[in-house]
A = this chain, B = another copy of it.
Amino acid sequence: MNRFASKISNDDLETRFKEYLYTHNGKFTSERMAILKLLYEDDEHLSVDDILDLARQKEIPVSRATVYRTLDLLVQSGLAKKHQFEGHETVFEAALKEGHHDHIVCVDCNKITEFFNDDLERIQNDILAKHGLVMVKHTHQLYGKCTVNNCPNRTS
């Protein structure tokens, strides 16, 4: 069993998004699809401003309000994830690119690294179960400091 979902094509994305929109009384527009694509074309965590910049670069006209509104939709539909790392602006990430992961934030260089650990996931579920709940989601960030002068996150 591979925890990584297979890479998703633009067609798949579009199909999924249309499905969601159809079942939620929403309309499929060029602006919405453009934002979704930008998110999946990029491997980074994008802020609202990043998305606006990218759109401008590609000469895709879209307003800030629409970016906000669309990102909300994408998060609700499960196509995007929203992260608020301390000391960072709010960022969004493609949700279907690969399997679940959490984040390490280097407090020296601010770089964000991803990690995944089976045991961690299992324990979290156990803890919630003991409290009579089932996991909806979790947020888990490790803030670390370099042990050497040249921050490994900076060069890795």
Residue positions of A touching B, CB distance < 8 A: 84, 86, 104, 106-107, 113, 115, 117, 119-120, 123-124, 127-128, 131-148, 152-153
Residue of B84, B128, B143, B148 near A135 (CB, 8 A) is B143
Return 24 A-B CB contacts under 8 Å, by A number: A86-B139, A106-B133, A117-B123, A119-B119, A120-B123, A120-B124, A127-B142, A128-B144, A131-B144, A132-B146, A132-B147, A132-B148, A132-B153, A133-B142, A133-B152, A133-B153, A134-B144, A134-B145, A135-B143, A136-B144, A138-B142, A139-B139, A139-B143, A140-B141
Given contacts A123-B123, A136-B145, A139-B141, 11 further A-B contacts (CB under 8 A): A86-B139, A113-B131, A115-B127, A115-B131, A120-B123, A127-B142, A132-B152, A134-B147, A135-B142, A138-B141, A139-B140
Q: CA separation between A127 and B115, bound complex, in Å?
A: 8
Chain B residues in 8 Å Cβ range of A117: 123, 127
